């Protein structure tokens, strides 16, 4: 790694007008300094001018790069600065010159040197324009080495969040002689055959965290150079590329090289890479150490060398020293590494004969080649191996018999089964999850009968009940899910589930709301409320809205959305406590206890003397009949359930159906899964409303899987207040 070069620019004096509000940052927009978002005019000097003002600001400052393409030939942002809180807010794309000969001998394109407290965010992109240089190198012509897209040198307290780097000429991101650096959610993309395009290179640095990165490149996804200590890498996807590598070490001049120590790599996925987790050293006498390394929870998918220590590293086998490596490798732990190898030998330890590897630990390694156990090859390596198929007790809720009438706890039973912590090798793409929260939903009653003519198949006696839940992935052979991910979707009513149909679950990306909300407010019930109200009911400001089962999982959100839309809202519920909740917590205009009303038609007429524009129905039966008699002309009825009909052996039809014709009412039954194209918009809308405090959500939490049957039955006896949830584990 070359030493960062220095660039000096003379800055002319002129006045810059900046809005500085109390408690806010000073914002320096590069466009105001002359930058052009046309992708052709060089904006390097404008960026450096904006940096100069931010760096010299006595208070926290932001350099703002708006949307658009900005050509930047080269820029080195230097410290020290007057303040240690400078943000680079990049919403546009920085484009490097495609001509690879104009870097003036520097190996840096965008660089920060000697700074403290700089953060980069905004979801912007660095486009290194490296394709022409790659072609030169691949053709074997005489070419410059190129420039790394983003370099941090001699700096500390750095944070990068959500940045994308594409088509770098050399390394994408370099961290050199730095302290306390966090790289979060970076997205790195280059061709699989792009030479020397390491995704992230860390060297002579301490306290670096690389989290939730997605790296697809032509060289090492992450390379770890000498002098690196206390490095933490977690939840990284790598592929294509050469894997995550410590080294190469031992090539530099001199007799001693700085050691690499205390490195953790966990919850990573490698897909189609040349290597998985690798330690590589040259066969030279240069002394050094690699010590205290953990590789844990890794998934390999068709990887050529899933686990490899190569102390005779010599790419191309040209000019190899032919000596024994002086780098000592010790205390390296491999734990829970599984998946498929592209070659018969999945584990290779080719250690130094004069400095054998020691303290190597392998635990729970499960790698296969063409559905057979892969082989290993070890030279001069000392350590231990352990682990195997781990089985645990697995408490389950099982359907004992088909339910008749109102479901009873005796229709279900608690059973002790067993579960494997490992995804089945015969099923590619399966995941094993630890269930945390389970949703109690009325539709599940329909699956407790022997009736096949439905949109979802029935449970079978003796089988585990299925429903929506929140879970944590404990093992995975699916590239879309990593160990440690949280998911929501269909899972079993049990402590651990193996999920084969992973299209029925999704990864949870939002963590600043309670996890259990992903089966309620942000789950199927919340989406049902959103779709039913906005898509089926087509509300207008000033509409009169009636919601039945209004304190339940769906109704409570429908009422709040209607109020936010400018509607008059009345809800019905089954107790005085729930009525009070609707009026004083959820903001309904009025609410009533339907159990205390001798005539539902007259009750609704008293609350809606001008009639009902929208009826959101989850009950059916007498409530639906009464609502139809009170509908206005061109009213809309959204029907998402028929709770009153679940427990009857002879379901009743609608008595007042003629009103649909008389008043030209549109009544539509719907299922939320028919509207999944709206789910991203739903999530964004509801999350924003919740964070702004404009909606609330009520849960009725039941602790322990053994209490699941009682919680479910409570839905049909009115025992729940709010969304009924079963907490299986809080981890």
- pLDDT digit string, tens, across residues 572-624: 999 999 999 999 999 999 999 999 999 999 999 999 999 999 999 988 889 99
| Phi, psi of 453, deg, nearest 5 | -85, 70
pLDDT given for residue 719 in this prediction: 81
Q: What is the CATH number of domain 28-212?
A: 2.160.20.10
Say yes or no: do domains 220-388 and 391-520 share a fold. no
Give 381 or 252, the one with higher predicted confidence: 381
Inter-residue contact 322 to 291 (CB < 8 Å):
no
Whether 703 shows a pLDDT value over 80: the answer reads: yes
What is the model's pLDDT at position 454?
65
Q: How many other C-beta atoms are found inside a 10 Å radius of the C-beta of residue 134?
A: 23
Residue predicted with more confidence, 149 or 355: 149
Whether the predicted pLDDT of 366 surpasses 90: no
Mean pLDDT of 696-702: 93
122-137 residue pLDDT tens = 999 999 999 999 999 9
Q: Is the pLDDT of residue 638 over 80?
A: yes
The total number of residues written for the chain in this structure = 731
What pLDDT, on the 0 to 100 scale, is given for residue 16? 44
pLDDT tier for residue 7 given thresholds of 50, 70 and 90: very low
Minimum mean pLDDT among 1-5, 330-334, 444-448, 609-613: which range? Answer: 1-5
Indicate whether 24 pLDDT > 70.
no
CATH of 391-520, one of 3.40.50.1100, 3.40.830.10, 3.40.50.300, 3.90.180.10: 3.90.180.10
Residue 287 has pLDDT above 80, yes or no: yes
Indicate whether 22 pLDDT > 60. no
The confidence band for 154, taking pLDDT boundaries of 50, 70 and 90, is: very high
* Model confidence pLDDT, tens digit, residues 520-548: 999 999 999 999 999 999 999 999 999 99
What per-residue confidence (pLDDT) applies to 171? 98
pLDDT in tens, 401-444: 998 888 899 999 999 988 876 666 556 788 889 999 999 988 89
DSSP for 639-672? E---GGGTT-SS----TTTTHHHHTT-EEEE--G
Domain boundaries, the chain: 28-212, 220-388, 391-520, 526-691
- Is the pLDDT reported for residue 352 higher than 80? yes
Helix 621-629 to helix 600-607 angle (10° resolution) is 50
pLDDT at 423: 66
Helices (H), 403-523: 443-446
Distance CA 362, CA 384 (A): 6
> Which of 546, 556, 704 lies closest to 627, judged by CA?
546
CATH architecture of 526-691: 3-Layer(aba) Sandwich (3.40)
* Range in 30-34, 498-502, 715-719 with the lowest mean pLDDT: 715-719
Report residue 13's pLDDT band, with 50, 70 and 90 as the boundaries.
Answer: very low
* Least confident range of 71-85, 519-533, 640-654: 640-654
CA-wise closest residue to 563 among 591, 586, 594, 593: 586
pLDDT for position 523: 94
* pLDDT on residue 646: 60
Half-sphere exposure of 578 (CA within 13 A, CB side): 26
- Asked if the model's pLDDT at residue 93 lies above 90, the reply is yes
Average pLDDT on 380-404 reads 81
Q: How confident is the model at residue 191 (pLDDT cuts 50, 70, 90)?
A: very high
- Whether 172 is a known active-site residue: answer no
pLDDT at residue 262 greater than cutoff 80 = yes
Give the pairing of strands 69-71 and 26-29. Answer: unpaired
Given 172, 242, 518, 675, the catalytic residue = 242
Q: In the predicted model, is pLDDT for residue 1 greater than 60?
A: no
For the stretch 477-495, pLDDT in tens is 787 888 788 999 999 999 9
Q: pLDDT band for position 654 (50/70/90)?
A: confident
Residue 549 pLDDT > 80, yes or no? yes
Given a contact cutoff of 8 angstroms between Cβ atoms, the answer to whether 282 and 248 are in contact is: yes
- 3-class SS of residue 681: helix
For residue 3, what pLDDT is reported? Answer: 37
* Mean per-residue pLDDT over the chain, rounded: 90
Token couple for 467: 């429903």
Place of tokens 């009103």: 659
Band the pLDDT of 389: cuts 50, 70, 90: low
Share of the chain above pLDDT 70, in %: 91
Mean pLDDT of 539-560: 95
- In whole angstroms, what is the distance from residue 438 CA to residue 518 CA? 10
How many Cα atoms are found within 13 Å in the side-chain-facing hemisphere of 447?
A: 19
Query: Which of left, alpha, beta for 21 (phi over 0: left; psi -120 to 50: alpha)?
Result: beta
Contact yes or no for 570/608 (Cβ under 8 A)? yes
Tell me the CA distances in angstroms from 702 to 104, 411, 468, 713, one per residue in order. 67, 19, 15, 12
CA gyration radius for the chain? 31
pLDDT band at residue 319, thresholds of 50, 70 and 90? low
Q: Tell me the CATH number of domain 220-388, given options 3.40.50.300, 3.20.20.140, 3.30.70.270, 2.160.20.10.
A: 2.160.20.10
Per-residue model confidence (pLDDT) at position 314: 80
Q: What is the pLDDT of residues 711-720, one digit of tens each?
A: 999 888 888 8
- Three-state SS string over 342-383 comes to CCCEEEEEECCCCCCEEEEEEEEEEEEECCEECEEEEECEEE
Q: What is the pLDDT of residue 567?
A: 98
């Amino acid at each position: 790694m070359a030493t960062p070069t220095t660039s000096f620019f003379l800055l002319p004096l002129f006045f810059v007008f900046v809005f500085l509000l109390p408690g806010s940052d000073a914002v320096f927009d590069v466009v105001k300094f002359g930058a052009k978002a046309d992708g052709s005019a060089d904006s390097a000097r404008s960026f450096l001018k904006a940096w100069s003002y931010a760096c010299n600001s006595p208070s926290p400052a932001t350099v703002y790069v708006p949307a658009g393409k900005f050509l930047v030939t080269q820029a080195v942002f230097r410290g020290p600065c007057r303040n240690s809180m400078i943000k680079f807010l990049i919403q546009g794309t920085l484009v490097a010159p495609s001509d690879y000969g104009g870097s003036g001998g520097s190996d840096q394109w965008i660089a920060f040197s000697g700074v403290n407290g700089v953060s980069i965010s905004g979801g912007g992109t660095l486009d290194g324009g490296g394709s022409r240089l790659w072609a030169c190198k691949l053709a074997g012509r005489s070419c410059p080495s190129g420039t790394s897209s983003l370099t941090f040198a001699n700096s500390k307290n750095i944070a990068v969040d959500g940045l994308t780097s594409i088509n770098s000429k050399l390394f994408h991101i370099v961290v050199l002689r730095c302290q306390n650096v966090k790289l979060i959610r970076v997205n790195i993309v280059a061709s699989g055959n792009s030479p020397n395009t390491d995704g992230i290179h860390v060297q002579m640095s301490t306290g670096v965290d690389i989290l939730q990165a997605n790296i697809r490149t032509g060289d090492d996804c992450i390379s770890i150079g000498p002098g690196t200590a206390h490095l933490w890498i977690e939840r990284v996807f790598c592929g294509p590329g050469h894997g995550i590598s410590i080294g190469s070490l031992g090539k530099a001049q001199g007799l001693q090289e700085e050691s690499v120590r205390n490195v953790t790599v966990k919850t990573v996925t490698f897909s189609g890479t040349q290597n998985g987790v690798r330690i590589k050293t040259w066969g030279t006498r240069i002394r050094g150490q690699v010590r205290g390394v953990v590789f844990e929870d890794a998934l390999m998918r068709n990887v050529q060398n899933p686990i490899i220590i190569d102390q005779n590293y010599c790419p191309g086998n040209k000019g190899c020293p032919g000596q024994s490596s002086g780098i000592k490798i010790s205390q390296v732990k491999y734990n829970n590494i599984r998946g498929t190898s592209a070659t018969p030998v999945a584990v290779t330890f080719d250690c130094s004969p004069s400095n054998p590897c020691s303290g190597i630990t392998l635990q729970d390694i499960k790698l296969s080649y063409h559905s057979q156990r892969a082989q290993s090859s070890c030279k001069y390596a000392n350590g231990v191996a352990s682990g195997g198929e781990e089985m645990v007790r697995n408490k389950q809720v099982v359907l004992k018999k088909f339910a008749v009438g109102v479901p009873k706890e005796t229709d279900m039973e608690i059973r002790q089964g067993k579960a494997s912590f490992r995804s089945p090798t015969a099923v590619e793409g399966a995941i094993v999850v630890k269930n945390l929260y389970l949703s109690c939903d009325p539709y599940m009653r329909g699956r407790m009968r022997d009736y096949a003519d439905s949109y979802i198949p029935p449970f079978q006696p003796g089988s585990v009940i299925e429903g929506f839940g929140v879970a944590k992935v404990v093992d995975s052979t699916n590239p879309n899910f990593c160990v440690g991910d949280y998911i929501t979707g269909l899972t079993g009513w049990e402590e651990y589930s193996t999920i084969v149909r992973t299209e029925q679950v999704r990864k949870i990306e939002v963590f600043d709301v309670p996890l259990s909300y992903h089966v309620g407010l942000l789950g199927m019930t919340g989406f049902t409320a959103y779709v039913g109200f906005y898509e089926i009911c087509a509300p207008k400001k000033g509409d009169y809205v009636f919601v039945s089962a209004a304190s339940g999982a769906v109704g409570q959100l429908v009422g709040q959305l209607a109020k936010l839309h400018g509607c008059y809202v009345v809800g019905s519920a089954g107790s005085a406590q729930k009525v009070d909740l609707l009026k004083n917590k959820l903001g309904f205009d009025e609410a009533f206890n339907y159990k205390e009303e001798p005539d539902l038609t007259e009750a609704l007429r008293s609350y809606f003397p001008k009639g009902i524009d929208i009826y959101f129905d989850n009950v059916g039966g007498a409530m639906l009949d009464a609502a139809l008699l009170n509908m206005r002309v061109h009213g809309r009825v959204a029907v998402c359930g028929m709770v009153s009909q679940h427990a009857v052996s002879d379901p009743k039809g609608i008595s007042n159906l003629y009103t649909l014709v008389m008043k030209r009412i549109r009544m539509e039954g719907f299922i939320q899964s028919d509207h999944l194209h709206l789910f991203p918009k739903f999530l964004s809308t509801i999350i924003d409303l919740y964070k702004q405090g404009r909606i609330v959500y009520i849960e009725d939490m039941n602790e322990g899987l053994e209490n699941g049957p009682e919680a479910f039955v409570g839905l049909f006896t009115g025992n729940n207040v709010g969304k009924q949830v079963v907490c299986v584990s809080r981890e």
